[in-house]
């Protein structure tokens, strides 16, 4: 591997010692270039290099250097799983006195306690909320790292990333942007006033190819041709097993991923060694002990037992972690995944097979070059493979395949100038005090990527239109030349919800003295903040929804926002039905089967509804709708814990979930007071209550009663 020795660079002694302790004695070409271009001197850097080329270490060097100089460095990433992964990596530096923190939720929490850390790992959304709250330690932040900088292209998340970078520019912070798939890195570097580190260097050579179905062979760019004797996936599996390497297969739909994994399992099983079978059984035991779902266990366990697994967002986080662990330990030989796995999780393989067609918006489309490159970049494991291979499986012609292989990722473009993004971010800019006058707002937004394309006149028009809309919703008011947030507007921004979400909640409840659980749940599910949640197959609920709407059990779309379509309304009603069963303690597996969703989907729905119901309670309180505020506060707890109303008090205790709460209630133990008064021996005798569990529960219960928690 072509590395430059550490001794060539002026590094702080702590960093030099730490790197050597980790077995790092040299820098890759991109790392060396970043150092020479001022990485440790506060220069902004955009790094556009392939997967596994060492981008994370570039960020790490800047963050550790910042922390050693009594500043705070923040690492922003799109996913909680990625944040957890980076947090564990960075904790290495704790032995050198660098404190590491992580924050991925609690959007309305100012985050004052985070000021004690030298490095903070955060999701994009959490960092955005911190920048809105402006905690007292914010002036100590010197460096912000934006991982997966190409996420600016994402219609939902992109404006958040763009505004994080814009605020960092506004505050004069060092910005480190990282991406493997950017078509216009020079443009992004210019916007961020950054040095560009652009390289095609990889630690493991990538050879790309495609399956020619007419000639039944795989054609590689290096001139090799590999005959395919069976169908493609059978051939891929047999070749991998005979040559002892792992494979990642990217399908574009969950069902396809599951079906392909089932097909390959009998093939892979024949090649497993006795010791591997034993260790796979241990992995299955781990899944069984941690997962609460029989369905998930029964679908995954028989595959894992045979050295194969599927991986997609419908799985619980527990199941995904088990699959990832098994693959990293080289026990699971083939994983068939949807593209969510390509979003930065560290799971490389010798061969990566990519299917490029997906069904979207009622038609078949092809993925972008950037998406293909993101998946192909997973091919080749440093220290294990002499090279990596990426194979396009479903190109109809060689020309289509070569379009992906030889093509350049699409340009990253701003998604800021849509109505939803602007109302969220104009309000947050006013609330957080970055700009309050029209001229200041225009100046602030002129620093965004979207304003770099000579569209500032259009931007001015849209900012003015957004201001008028926010005034109509009573989020802001004008005093002289200044725009100031109302108490409602300030709360909405700091609660991290779309102003339209708040407006829908207010309109849906303002003229009602009371509402049913189903009404509240449907109302919450109809807000734009719930649109990111994946849900399908709801048209069959039409008659049932109309009947309930006619008797006032659920809201009609025209009563809350005339822009809500019938399909959106039915989608919201289906989400409400799922949540209604969840808070009435219907088993997870029953909900999953009944509504055709995955455990991961259920978790996402519950998390989103918990946050939005909590926000709705605060909004109602500000607007004088106290009865609704109280009902929504209780409902938020019930959604978070998945319990009926009589279990809310017990569910406050750490270690008591929906199952244990119901066991206690059935045993006549209904409150935290009852729990503390119950003899320890009796609690231990209950199902799912061992001695250690009881000790933890009682400790937590006493803290609640003493007011120390």
Binding residues for ATP: 31
Geometric angle at alpha carbon 105, from 474 and 630, rounded to 5°? 55
Determine contact, residues 640/610, Cβ cutoff 8 Å: yes
Report in angstroms the alpha-carbon separations of 313 from 51, 52, 213, 257, 598: 22, 24, 30, 11, 8
Buried b (16+ CB within 10 A) or exposed e, 469-488: bbeebbbbeeeeeebebbeb
Helices and strands: H and E segment counts in the chain: 31, 21
Residues contacting 586, CB < 8 A, separation 6+: none
From edge to edge, which strands make up the β-sheet containing 387-392? 225-227, 217-220, 205-212, 387-392, 351-354, 247-250, 334-337, 308-311
Q: CA–CA separation, 117 vs 72, rounded Å?
A: 7
Closest CA to 681 of 672, 692, 691, 670: 691
User: How far apart are the C-alpha atoms of 709 and 74, rounded to whole Å?
Assistant: 29
Per DSSP, 437 falls in state B
CA–CA–CA angle 106, 322, 208 (5° rounding): 100
Greatest Cα pair distance in the chain: 79
What is the SS3 assignment for 45?
strand
* Residues making up the binding site: 31
- Is 226 in a helix, a strand, or coil? strand
Q: Would you call 560 helix, strand, or coil by DSSP?
A: helix
Ramachandran region of residue 172, left (φ > 0), alpha (ψ -120 to 50) or beta?
left
Can you list the positions of beta strands (E) in 457-526? 476-479, 482-485
């Amino acid at each position: 591997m072509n590395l430059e020795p550490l001794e060539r660079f002026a590094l702080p002694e702590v960093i030099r010692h730490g790197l050597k302790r980790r077995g790092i004695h040299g820098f890759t070409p991109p790392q060396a270039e970043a150092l020479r271009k001022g990485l440790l001197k506060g220069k902004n850097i955009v790094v556009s290099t392939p997967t596994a080329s060492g981008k994370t270490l570039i960020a790490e060097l800047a963050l550790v250097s910042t922390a050693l100089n009594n500043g705070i460095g923040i690492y922003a990433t799109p996913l909680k799983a990625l944040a957890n992964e980076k947090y564990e990596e960075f904790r290495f530096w704790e032995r050198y006195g660098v404190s590491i923190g992580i924050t991925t939720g609690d959007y309305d929490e100012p985050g004052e306690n985070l000021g004690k850390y030298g490095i903070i790992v955060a999701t994009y959304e959490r960092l955005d909320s911190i920048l809105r709250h402006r905690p007292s330690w914010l002036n100590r932040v010197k460096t912000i790292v934006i991982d997966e900088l190409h996420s600016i292209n994402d219609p939902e998340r992109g404006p958040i990333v763009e505004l994080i970078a814009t605020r960092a520019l506004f505050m004069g912070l060092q910005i480190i942007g990282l991406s493997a798939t950017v078509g216009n890195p020079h443009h992004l570097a210019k916007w961020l006033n950054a040095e560009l580190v652009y390289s095609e260097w990889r630690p493991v050579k990538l050879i790309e190819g495609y399956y020619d179905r007419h000639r039944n062979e795989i054609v590689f760019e290096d001139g090799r041709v590999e005959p395919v004797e069976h169908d493609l996936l059978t051939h891929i599996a047999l070749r991998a097993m005979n040559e002892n390497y792992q494979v990642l297969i990217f399908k574009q739909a969950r069902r396809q991923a599951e079906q392909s994994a089932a097909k390959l399992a009998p093939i892979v099983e024949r090649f497993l060694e006795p010791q591997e079978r034993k260790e796979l059984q241990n992995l299955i035991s781990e899944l069984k002990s941690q997962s609460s779902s029989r369905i998930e266990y029964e679908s995954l366990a028989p595959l894992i037992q045979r050295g194969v697994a599927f991986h997609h967002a419908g799985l619980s986080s527990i199941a995904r972690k088990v699959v990832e662990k098994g693959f990293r330990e080289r026990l699971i030989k083939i994983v068939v995944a949807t593209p969510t796995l390509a979003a930065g999780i560290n799971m490389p393989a010798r061969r990566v097979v990519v299917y490029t067609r997906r069904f979207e918006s009622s038609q078949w489309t092809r993925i972008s070059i950037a998406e293909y490159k993101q998946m192909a970049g997973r091919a080749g494991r440093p220290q294990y493979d002499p090279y990596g291979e990426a194979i396009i499986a479903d190109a109809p012609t060689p020309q289509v395949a070569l379009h992906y292989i030889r093509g350049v990722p699409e340009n990253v473009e701003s998604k800021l100038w849509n109505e939803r993004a602007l109302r969220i971010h104009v309000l947050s800019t006013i609330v957080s005090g970055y700009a309050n006058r029209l001229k200041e707002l225009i100046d602030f937004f002129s620093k965004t990527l979207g304003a770099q394309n000579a569209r500032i006149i259009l931007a001015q028009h849209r900012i003015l239109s957004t201001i008028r809309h926010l005034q109509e919703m009573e989020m802001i008011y004008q005093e002289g030349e200044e725009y100031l947030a109302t108490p409602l507007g300030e709360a909405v921004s700091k609660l991290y919800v779309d102003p339209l979400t708040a407006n829908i909640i207010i309109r849906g409840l303002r003229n009602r003295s009371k509402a049913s659980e189903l009404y509240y749940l449907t109302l919450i599910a109809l807000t734009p903040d719930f649109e990111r949640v994946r849900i399908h197959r709801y048209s069959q609920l039409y008659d049932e929804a109309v009947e309930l709407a006619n008797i006032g059990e659920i809201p009609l779309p025209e009563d809350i926002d005339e822009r809500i379509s019938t399909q959106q309304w039915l989608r919201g009603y289906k989400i409400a039905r799922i949540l209604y069963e969840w808070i009435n303690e219907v088993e997870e597996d029953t909900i999953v089967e009944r509504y055709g969703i995955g455990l991961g989907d259920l978790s996402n729905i519950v998390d989103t509804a918990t946050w939005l119901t909590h926000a709705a309670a605060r909004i109602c309180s500000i607007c004088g709708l106290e009865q609704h505020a109280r009902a929504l506060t209780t409902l938020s707890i019930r959604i978070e814990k998945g319990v009926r109303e009589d279990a809310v008090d017990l569910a406050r205790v750490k270690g008591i979930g929906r199952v244990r709460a119901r066991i206690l209630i059935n045993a006549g133990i209904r409150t935290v007071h009852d729990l503390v008064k119950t003899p320890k021996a009796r609690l231990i005798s209950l199902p799912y209550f061992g001695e250690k569990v009881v000790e933890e529960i009682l400790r937590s219960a006493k803290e609640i009663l003493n007011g120390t928690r």
